[in-house]
Amino acid sequence: MSIGMYGWTPGEMNNQSGRSFVVTGANSGLGAVTARVLAEAGASVILACRNTDRGEAVADRIRKSQPEAQCEVRSLDLADLSSVYAFTNECPQIDVLINNAGVMAVPKTRTKDGFEMQLGTNHLGHFALTGLLLDRITDRVVTVSSGMHLIGRVDLKDLNWERRKYRRWPAYAQSKLANLLFTYELQRRFDAAGSGMRAVAAHPGYASTGLQSHTGTIQDRLMRVTNKLLAQSAEGGALPSLYAATAPSLPGGSYVGPAGRFEQRGSPVLVRSNKRSRDRTLAKGLWEESEALTGVAYRIPADTGSTQN
């Protein structure tokens, strides 16, 4: 399963000069590391951030360490479809979209469009973003999932927790399972259309990022402690996303995660997702519901002449 990835580091990445990336949620954590490493490798990077002040701080640090880095910050709030439309209206052609942004185990809240916050941000916002950018992506779409997909259940009759009693961790797990269902269905649609584009997924293992500190409960304190004791750095957690976004020969439909025990840390390798994530009937149903909720209907380009590097 490793296809030669054991021990892979960003130093083995091909030069990314001439290639362009959008990284969502690049104002902190895994997204900030991903944007920095890509820029250091010569790529042009758009940091798509809800908090643009923090995004500018990340971009400034990148420019200070790499004066020739090509990076810019643009506003994107995945919890607001009008923001998604505004971003895509101004986005140029890119090679790779990295759907990285996410929220985890937050209290019951809703997006501007009325979606449950975790599903709306982690899945529906990225679903809309990808669909609206599809005619301007030349190579691949990378979507960041989680090992939490293993306990996820997607309820097509109540995706937005309107009838069920809201539970923050099952809601998070549902959104992360949705990320994988989306990735595999998108790849099937690329294949059916004869497109050379690729949809791939990644997960970071257990990485210390700001994602774990917004539950609004005592769990925030507990996770800060476990982060210090058990978690790998954000730099380690970003490795699967970086590999998924840049490896030339990575097949569409791949899922990349850490090589270590329980996939918690380590160099990127191909990993397996659960049977539920590959349920084609469930994926088709989720896709149809996602189109209905977001109003974004996909048009898959037949042959983009996709670039590989």
Active site residues: 172
Of 257, 277, 251, residue with least CA distance to 180: 277
Contact 277, 180 (CB under 8 A): yes
Q: How far apart are CA 125 and CA 70, in angstroms?
A: 26
Task: Say how many CA atoms lie within 13 Å of 291 toward its Cβ.
Answer: 10
Helix (H, G, I), strand (E, B) or coil at 138: strand
Helix (H, G, I), strand (E, B) or coil at 77: coil
Helix (H, G, I), strand (E, B) or coil at 16: coil
Q: How far apart are CA 132 and CA 139, in angstroms?
A: 15
Task: Say how many CA atoms lie within 13 Å of 131 toward its Cβ.
Answer: 23
Q: How far apart are CA 58 and CA 50, in angstroms?
A: 13
Q: How far apart are CA 78 and CA 294, in angstroms?
A: 11
Of 49, 42, 5, residue with least CA distance to 27: 49
Q: Residue 241 belongs to what H/E stretch?
A: helix 239-246
> What is the side-by-side strand order in the sheet with 268-270?
70-75, 44-49, 20-24, 94-99, 137-144, 198-202, 255-258, 268-270
Residue 74: which residues within 8 A CB-CB, separation 6 or more?
46, 47, 48, 49, 52, 87, 90, 91
